[in-house]
Structure 1
Amino acid sequence: MSDFLLIDDDEAFAMVLMRSLSRRGYAAVWARDAVQALARAAQRPARILLDLNLDGDSGLRLLPALREASPDSAIVVLTGYASIATAVEATKLGAVQYLGKPAGVDEILAAFAQQAANPELPVSPQPMSLRRVTWEHLQRVLAEHDGNISATARALNMHRRTLQRMLAKKPVKN
């Protein structure tokens, strides 16, 4: 049994992370796609680090199958495209934490260590910007339509190409 199962389509990132975990005394295995991930999850690793974007597919779709294959594993979702909508969905589907990339080994280990809710977490004194609220809304509606751009565009009453251009941009910081 391994300590970590890393599920990420970025081989360079996975190798660096596995090397860092190894230096800290953790055994880690890597899966680049859903098929490999489910096969390795059957070995019941203690911790699973799941990338949200697996070569164009959503890691959220894989989450319930991982829960079923390895019910005792703690799962943390890691993403370069963090949004409130996907964070909420990830926790509803069984993830214990949700981290935005880039995340170092210390942050990842801390996320696995803190599996319970933290009521002492400070509330941001500044509200989100209008651009960030718009980005969050687009992500929520996209999640509601299972990532279907055309259905999302129809629901938002906007042109599909306009929506694609908006989604192609990086998330707004605030």
Structure 2
Amino acid sequence: MNDTDVGLLIDDDELYLTTLQRSLARRGLETRTAASIAEALRVADEIRPAFALVDLKLGDDSGLTLIRPLRALRADMRILLVTGYASIATAVDAIKRGADDYLPKPATAPMILRALERHKGDAVAVESTMIPLHRLEWEHIQQAMHETGGNVSAAARLLNMHRRSLQRKLAKRPGPERGPEPE
């Protein structure tokens, strides 16, 4: 990527989007933002970004649907999918659709820069991108809670665990080791 390339950040969380855009600007990356699929396609068509950071959940829509249209706009565009609901199945689906990388949320500026450099053959330390097991479990539980509208009993059934076990896990919210906040 050269200095004139512009990136596109797509997320429906405006605070995260603004914070991340400022953090990337401090590191010399110019970006534009979009909060919906329609806005993302409009902005992407206008600027033909060098890279796109796409959130998996955009309101009621899926960011996965943006991968092919973005790739059609610019074949060499680096497409990075980010999500707070990390799962192997979603990562595989994103890669099959044409995403270049998959990052857990909150994706920080250093994580994004490493992912953008990865295609150049630079070595990336494995531990810098690994998600701790307790964090994956917590995100999986949160996804089940979201899908059941916060109903603990229904989420426990979905997760195939006893309701009391789920309640104990919910009471033990992961601490600061959850991961860095956007810079």
TM range (shorter): 0.5 to 0.7
**What is the match of residue 63 of structure 2?**
59
Q: 1:19 aligns with which of 10, 18, 22?
A: 22
The ranges of structure 1 where at least 4 consecutive aligned residues each deviate by more than 3 angstroms after the TM superposition are 161-167
Q: Normalized against structure 1, the TM-score is what? A: 0.67
Deviating more after overlay: 102-111 vs 77-86: 102-111
TM-score normalized by the length of structure 2: 0.64
Q: 1:166 aligns with which of 146, 158, 164?
A: 158
2:82 aligned counterpart, secondary structure: strand
Query: 2 CA distance for matches of 1:100 and 1:61?
Result: 18
Q: Quote the Cα distance in structure 2 between the aligned partners of 1:32 and 1:109.
A: 21
The letter of the residue matching 1:72 is D
Residue equivalent to 1:154? none
- 1:87 is aligned to 91
Report if the CA contact (8 A) 1:44-1:72 is conserved.
no
2:177 is aligned to: none
Gaps of 5+ in 2: 128-132, 148-152, 160-165, 175-183
Deviates more, 1:50-59 or 1:35-44: 35-44
- Listed as ranges, the gaps of 5+ residues in structure 1 are 123-127, 140-148, 150-160
How many correspondences in the alignment? 142
Q: 1:30 aligns with which of 24, 28, 33?
A: 33
Q: RMSD of the alignment, in Å?
A: 3.5
Deviation per residue, 1:123-154 (Å, 9 max, x gap): xxxxx89x96xx6xx99xxxxxxxxx9xxxxx
Identity %: 42
Cα gap change, 1:66 to 1:165, in 2 (>3 Å): farther
Q: How has the CA–CA distance of structure 1 residues 24 and 87 changed in structure 2, closer, same or farther, with 3 Å as cutoff?
A: same
